[in-house]
Structures are given as C-alpha cells and as structure tokens.
Structure 1
C-alpha cells in the first residue's frame, strides 16, 4: 500500500513539474539596459519613453505558435491609498501588428526576443503622485513618477552609523596595541 501511495504522489509531482516547465514564459526586456521588467515598480519621468521588447522561453511543443498581445493601463493605489489619474495618462505604443511567431526548435528550450519595440510613456497630464499598473501580454508592472519616490536620507542618518563603525575600529585597534 505504501509503495502504491508513493508511486501516485511521485507521479503527481512529475506531472505538476512537467506542466509548469512546458508553458511558455514571456517577459519584457528594457532596450536601454537589457534588464527584465516584471512585477516591479518602474520610475518613469513625464514624457521620457520607456522602450521594451517581448522575450519568450518556449519548448519544442510550442514552436511555430503565433502569439498576439495587447496592452492595458489601470490607475493604481498610491502610497496614500488614493487612486489618481486615468488610463489615458500613460500611452503604450505596440507594434502593428502586435504579434510574433515562435521559431521552430526540436530540442531544449528556445529563447525568442521580438525585434519590434513597445514604447510606454507617462504623459504630462498624469498627476505627480499617480501610479499605474501596465499590463502587456501576460506581464505587468507598476509605473510611477521618478520624482515622487526618491528618498534621500538626512545627514545624521548616514553619518551616525559610519561614525560608530569608525569608533569601533579605533577602539579595537587601540586594544591590539595594548594601550
């Protein structure tokens, strides 16, 4: 009985792992620095476009599949819990057509990056402390103004820990000298 139960549980685990490994995984990549954009806050000043590309990891079973994608902008809660602005405050320019076909592969995992770019811009009509959830295909991220979320610590916040560390070095250095 234990062997049958062990066999069933291990079979279910294999099926679950194989199912997640077979699904194509899409990401957005920033053109300026090559970093992946996913589930993070992007700080974007007004009228400074963010240029992205679609990238997909896929299996041989997904070769030749054509993907269509679209974009959606939703105003999101800011740090005060307020929802400011509207969806027209952020423009998303998709390639025309917003589609790509995955090249054929026979083994392993394929990586395809679309040559077309997606341009996201925060318009000047956007309130200064508004946050927007941008969804492109099945990838989403939060977009906000770079000027509203910068935190510069005050001098004592930085100087006190540095002074404490230097003081410890001085004290322990003096003990080694035998003074």
Structure 2
C-alpha cells in the first residue's frame, strides 16, 4: 500500500494559557480542520463544508454542537436513575406491568445500580441486562423507554465557558483587523 504525504503550510497555531491550563488550537482554515491539544487531552474535527470563512464559522458555532463534534458527554448516574424511575411510573400508568413487577425493579434493580456507583453507560446496561427477566415484565420495549442521562464534565463546561470564549475572541479580533 502506498500513502501520499503532503506537507501543509496553512495551519495556524493559537495558545490559550493561564497559570494552570494550556490549550493549543491548530486551525487549518483551508481544509476546515480544528485540532486541540491541552493538558486535559486532545480532540479535533474536520468539517466538510464550513463555508468560505472557516474562522467566521468557528466564531458562530454553538458550543453544544461543537462539543458534540469534539467529545462525548459523561454518564450521569443520578439522572439515569431518575429516568429509570420515570420509566417505571410511566409503565405503571399505561398498565404495562403489575404493581409487584414495578416494585421489584424499583426496589432491587435500582438498588443494585446505586450499589455499584456506576460511572459508565456500558456497566449500567450490563446490570439492566442481568435483570432482564424482571425488566421486560415492566416493559418489553425497555431499550426505547429507559433513557440514559449524560452531561458534560466540569472540564468540558470550563472549556466551553472560558477557554473556547477566549479563543473565539482572538478570532474575532483577527477578522476585525482584516476589514
């Protein structure tokens, strides 16, 4: 197999830094690429059609959309348990299960989930699947009914609210200087 290697000279580098954090932003405006390397980790994305001005595109990005491209939300145990309880209540209202079937899942399956202090969606579904004979009595379509709750980590929130904003301000200054 033969690979073609091209040296790209169109990449601009930015550094957002304070006394604790450093975040390097590498922007290839010609190819719609954003790469980020920091003391918290690395992430990046390439947009196929960001328009004529990639920096303007980055400035106008919704941070939630951006983070969905760059990272992944963390599993939220408390929110997921709340969703499981709401699912059970909904199934009882719709008369999908008996009071006893719902009570068993509420008391024992949720207790098992809480006992392990789960940090991972896969582990959560493992417990659900290990209790499947009880779960399906509440609702056979449990997979569509149980909603896993996920949220951005504290670092992700800090990145969106502080670091990304500082980077965007620099891009805005550059665009204004070009006018």
TM-score scaled by structure 2? 0.27
Q: 1 or 2 for the larger relative contact order (CA 8 Å, sep ≥6)? A: 1
Bigger fraction of residues in helix = 2
Structure of higher CA gyration radius: 1
Bigger fraction of residues in strand = 1
